[in-house]
Amino acid sequence: MGAPHETLEAWRAYDVRTSVERLVPWPVHFCNDATAAGGAELAFGSGARYANFLYVFIATLIGGGVVLNGSLYPGRTGYAGAFGSILVPDLSGGRAPQSLIRCASLYLLENMMRSEGKDPSILWRSSDDWSEVGSTLDGWIERATDSLSVAIVSAISVIDFEAIVIDALSRDQYVPPSLKRPAKNLDGWRRRASLQYTSSKV
């Protein structure tokens, strides 16, 4: 981030909840960012269609949340649906399984672009046109969709979700049209759960 080490360390002990409570008259709840986004999707988006769904948020770090019986399920410590922690195999072979966060997060695409001398700011600057990223984007999409499909199959084997909701911060910012193509590993679970693409409600 470029901030001094002591500034970053100060945030570790900063009580955000108490500070916000001093500013507003409403109850303040502190939770994981992707869990909160899943709650917004439940309240303002897919909650009207599905009572049970796995929420996936593709961003700098991929994450997610769980909705069961029409309610957000944060789990014992608030990290239920921490989708990025799921281990997925190296589909190219030769390496040990890695967490999904290391296979399908946008920071990987940023790093790939930087290593090729490209400016990754387009990922945040342009909401619907990543065409100039070219083959770098294609490579990231191939790895991300294949890894994502394996993780989804793992999640559905534990809870029989009726839908998988893949979210993006704006209309197409984090899910360009080419990422919406079905990956070859999705066919089996698509017969068991609906797949929906959406954009963040907050």
CB distance 146 to 55 below 8 Å: no
Of 173, 169, 165, nearest to 201 by C-alpha is 169
Q: Over 80: is that where the pLDDT of 190 sits?
A: no
Q: Which is more confident, 184 or 96?
A: 96
Q: Over 60: is that where the pLDDT of 88 sits?
A: yes
> What is residue 8's predicted lDDT score, i.e. its pLDDT?
82
CA distances from 63 to 6, 21, 55, 169 (A): 27, 27, 8, 13
The mean pLDDT of the chain is 81
CB distance 40 to 202 below 8 Å: yes
CB distance 38 to 67 below 8 Å: yes
Tokens of 118: 């490209």
Chain segment 107-159, per-residue pLDDT in tens: 999 999 999 999 888 887 765 667 778 889 888 888 888 899 889 988 988 99
Confidence of residue 199 (pLDDT cuts 50, 70, 90): low
For residues 91-104, average pLDDT: 83
> Which of 13-27, 54-68, 77-91 has the weakest average pLDDT?
77-91
Determine phi and psi for 198, rounding to 5 degrees: -140, 180
**Three-state secondary-structure class, residue 195:** strand
Q: What b-and-e string marks burial along 179-194, b requiring 16 or more CB atoms within 10 Å of the CB?
A: beeebebbeebeeebe
